[in-house]
């Protein structure tokens, strides 16, 4: 008898560790409810994760088996199960967050284990460290083979039953349907109607409101929780790419490129485990971050007086999700215009996001904050020009900032540049800018150039 330890791989198909275990003999699936691990994510994602565990338990039952659900430290729970079942080996998929690696090491020390690379398309251990930009990484990454997705095991799921129920956590927002079947349905919908125009629509904020399910993939909550495998997702995109003509292929290939950013962030986390806590860039001088509690709270509430920033933050509050364009704009505003430490923003996103993924969240924050890998020393997203380029008709902004409904879109774009009197006459209930646009930009330039030793 073998044990397969599910973590953030809440599925039977395209689960390499589970397949290796069942190929070796009868296997029982286990999920351990560890409050320390679940406490590292926000309540919203915690609720979604546990809904995914319930769906996984049902998937086992549909195949004449069951998922054993236990609580407590994983090493103790797994040791007890191995003793009860006389199990020989615990199989699991490798994870890269430092706390999860430590958890896995404790299990390795006490039990016979076999770990499998499953979380990424290419095992980051196969790539040398030192690729300082995504383009450098991608050249090396592309040279390595990507394994195909695997079907769910047909045989050797152990004939067991388990009456233990999965804890229920109530979220403060509506959650998408959890589980592999829901994830696969979402992927199929996007491939059928969305992926062939992805490059053109991925930054179209009007489409983000009017066609939210297909202007972008919305696969991130499922990938972050492992309710669907990355090889299955990439494989579906590749099939669409291969079936398309030249122009459409470029649209599809942009989606595959975005998946390679996920790969890059996991590569960074693997080689630099402090990515979640320390600046990736070794600055000659300290960054003069500001202590601005009022500004930080206004940013969290979506009351900065910068319409695109506020729309993004309010989408996050309402849905537990934010469009990627506004993730970049809101993160830049916090770390550049307000000069608030990126770690504060990353931790807030961790609490709020349904699709929080440690590598993507923290890697993305570091990239935007100019403390991570980038070909530009100081990157600043101007929230006014970003709105003019991506939401010029203010559809996205007015969806989430109703105080500005009825105001001319060009005026909304220029909101931070208007006089106080103009703003009060147009939308008296909406916030005034909490920082001057030009002063914030220039201050960020000075601070980062000083940290880089250029002043």
**Residue 273 — pLDDT band, cuts 50, 70, 90?**
very high
Q: At what angle do helices 293-301 and 307-319 cross, to 10 degrees?
A: 70
Specify the domain boundaries for CATH 3.40.50.620 within the chain: 2-118
What's the whole-model pTM score? Answer: 0.97
Asked whether 255 and 191 are in contact (CB, 8 A), the reply is no
Mean pLDDT of 225-235: 98
Q: What is the pLDDT at residue 361? A: 98
Q: For residue range 87-129, list pLDDT tens digits in order.
A: 999 999 999 999 999 999 999 999 999 999 999 999 999 999 9
Question: Which CATH entry fits the domain spanning 2-118: 3.20.20.70, 3.40.50.1100, 3.40.50.620, 3.40.50.150?
Answer: 3.40.50.620
Mean pLDDT of 271-288: 97
Q: What is the pLDDT at residue 274? A: 97
Q: What is the pLDDT at residue 246? A: 86
Q: What is the pLDDT at residue 292? A: 97
Spatial separation of the C-alpha atoms in residues 439 and 443, rounded to whole Å: 6
Q: For residue range 350-389, list pLDDT tens digits in order.
A: 999 999 999 999 999 999 999 999 888 999 999 999 999 9
Asked whether 340 and 289 are in contact (CB, 8 A), the reply is yes
Q: Is the pLDDT of residue 213 over 90?
A: no
Closest CA to 361 of 265, 279, 267, 296: 265
Mean pLDDT of 30-40: 94
Burial pattern 267-300, b for ≥16 Cβ within 10 A else e, equals bbbbbbeebbeebbbeeeeebebeebeebbebbb
Q: For residue range 39-75, list pLDDT tens digits in order.
A: 999 999 999 999 999 999 999 999 999 999 999 999 9
Q: At what angle do helices 230-243 and 180-192 cross, to 10 degrees?
A: 20
Question: Which CATH entry fits the domain spanning 180-271: 2.40.50.140, 3.40.718.10, 3.30.470.30, 1.25.40.80?
Answer: 1.25.40.80
Q: What is the pLDDT at residue 71? A: 97
Q: At what angle do helices 324-332 and 307-319 cross, to 10 degrees?
A: 120
Angle (CA) 346-380-280 rounded to 5° is: 50
Q: For residue range 297-356, list pLDDT tens digits in order.
A: 999 999 999 999 999 999 999 999 999 999 999 999 999 999 999 999 999 999 999 999
Q: What is the pLDDT at residue 387? A: 98
Strands of the sheet containing 67-71, edge to edge, are 67-71, 27-33, 2-6, 89-93, 113-116
CATH number of 293-451: 1.10.579.10
Specify the domain boundaries for CATH 1.10.579.10 within the chain: 293-451
Q: For residue range 231-262, list pLDDT tens digits in order.
A: 999 999 999 999 999 899 999 999 999 999 99
Asked whether 307 and 387 are in contact (CB, 8 A), the reply is yes
Spatial separation of the C-alpha atoms in residues 141 and 123, rounded to whole Å: 10
Q: For residue range 159-206, list pLDDT tens digits in order.
A: 999 999 999 999 999 999 999 999 999 999 999 999 999 999 999 999
């Amino acid at each position: 008898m073998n044990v397969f330890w599910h973590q953030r791989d809440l599925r039977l198909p395209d689960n390499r560790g589970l397949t290796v275990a069942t190929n070796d003999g009868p296997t029982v699936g286990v999920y351990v409810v560890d409050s320390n691990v679940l406490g590292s994510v926000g309540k919203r994602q915690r609720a979604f994760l546990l809904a995914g565990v319930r769906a996984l338990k049902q998937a086992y039952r549909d195949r004449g088996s069951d998922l054993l659900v236990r609580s407590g430290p994983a090493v103790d729970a797994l040791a007890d199960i191995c003793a009860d079942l006389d199990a020989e080996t615990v199989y699991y998929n490798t994870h890269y967050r430092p706390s999860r690696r430590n958890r896995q090491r404790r299990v390795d020390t006490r039990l016979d284990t076999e770990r499998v690379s499953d979380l990424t398309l290419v095992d980051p251990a196969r790539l040398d460290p030192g690729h300082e930009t995504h383009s450098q990484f991608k050249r090396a990454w592309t040279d390595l083979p990507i394994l195909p997705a695997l079907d769910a095991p047909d045989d050797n799921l152990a004939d067991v039953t388990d009456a233990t129920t999965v804890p229920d956590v109530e979220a403060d927002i509506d959650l998408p349907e959890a589980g592999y079947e829901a994830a696969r349905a979402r992927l199929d919908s996007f491939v059928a109607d969305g992926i062939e125009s992805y490059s053109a629509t991925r930054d179209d904020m009007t489409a983000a409101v009017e066609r939210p399910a297909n202007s972008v993939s919305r696969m991130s909550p499922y990938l972050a929780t492992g309710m669907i495998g990355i090889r299955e997702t990439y494989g579906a995109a590749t099939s669409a790419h291969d079936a398309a003509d030249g122009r459409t292929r470029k649209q599809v290939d942009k989606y595959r490129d975005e998946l390679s950013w996920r790969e890059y962030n996991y590569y960074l986390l693997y080689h630099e485990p402090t990515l979640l806590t320390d600046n990736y860039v070794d600055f000659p001088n300290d960054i003069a971050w500001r202590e601005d509690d009022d500004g930080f709270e206004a940013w969290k509430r979506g009351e900065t007086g910068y319409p695109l920033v506020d729309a993004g933050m309010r989408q996050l509050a309402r849905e537990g999700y934010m469009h990627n364009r506004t993730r970049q704009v809101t993160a830049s505003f916090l770390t550049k215009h307000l000069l608030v430490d990126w770690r504060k923003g990353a931790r807030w996103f961790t609490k709020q996001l349904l699709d929080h993924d440690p590598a993507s969240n923290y890697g993305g924050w570091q990239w935007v904050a100019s403390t991570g890998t980038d070909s530009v020393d100081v990157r600043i997203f101007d929230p006014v020009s970003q709105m003019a380029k991506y939401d010029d008709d203010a559809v996205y902004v007015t969806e989430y900032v109703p105080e500005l409904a009825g105001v001319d879109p060009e005026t909304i774009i220029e909101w931070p540049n208007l006089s106080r009197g103009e703003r009060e006459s147009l939308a008296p209930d909406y916030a005034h800018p909490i920082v001057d646009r030009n002063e914030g930009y220039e201050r960020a330039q000075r601070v980062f150039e000083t940290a880089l030793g250029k002043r």
